[in-house]
Structure 1
Amino acid sequence: MQNPDDPNNGGDLIADAREEIVGMAKQGMAHPSTKPVLTAGAIGAVAGAVLPVVSWPIGLVAGAGYMLYKRLRP
């Protein structure tokens, strides 16, 4: 049985992501996850623009999504 007090217990990823995104929206750049997620999104957008098959919006979403996931599940 998993400990419910453990922050890495593998709980509901969707609920955790929603809570993190709402916190980022309310606190803006003051939230600790905002800068890394935006940076990863920008890097993904540049990579998407350089790659021939992927466009920059897909790269942006992929980069930001990956960093958000890494912030939730290190």
Structure 2
Amino acid sequence: MAADDPQEPKHQDHELIPDATAEIKGIAKEGMKHPSTKPVLTGAAVGAVAGALLPVVTWPVGLIAGAGFMLYKRIRP
């Protein structure tokens, strides 16, 4: 297949870090007005609760994991 074949699947992971950085900066600047703030905070809360309930994971680890997962889902739906 050719490199610019429209039928070839495109991988978007090569720009994950710059996209995440831009999204985090947008959340920091706009606060609750940014469309990603509420889902990321919800993910952080769910992760913290899960971390508090699970014996292996602590709540800060769960909080970071939940926020990171939701941020990833906002960047790469």
TM-score by length of 1: 0.88
Q: Report the structure number with the largest CA radius of gyration.
A: 2
2:43 maps to which of 24, 34, 40:
40
1:26 maps to which of 11, 24, 29:
29
For residue 9 of structure 1, report the CA deviation from its aligned partner: 6.0
Divergent runs of 4+, >6 A: none
For residue 71 of structure 1, report the CA deviation from its aligned partner: 0.3
Partner of 1:58: 61
Which residues of structure 1 form unaligned runs of 5+?
none
For residue 2 of structure 1, report the CA deviation from its aligned partner: 7.8
Which residues of structure 2 form unaligned runs of 5+?
none
For residue 73 of structure 1, report the CA deviation from its aligned partner: 0.3
Alpha-carbon distance between aligned partners in 2 of 1:39 and 1:57, rounded to the nearest angstrom: 14
Aligned residues: 70
Alpha-carbon distance between aligned partners in 1 of 2:38 and 2:15, rounded to the nearest angstrom: 24
Q: What's the secondary structure of 2:28's corresponding residue?
A: helix
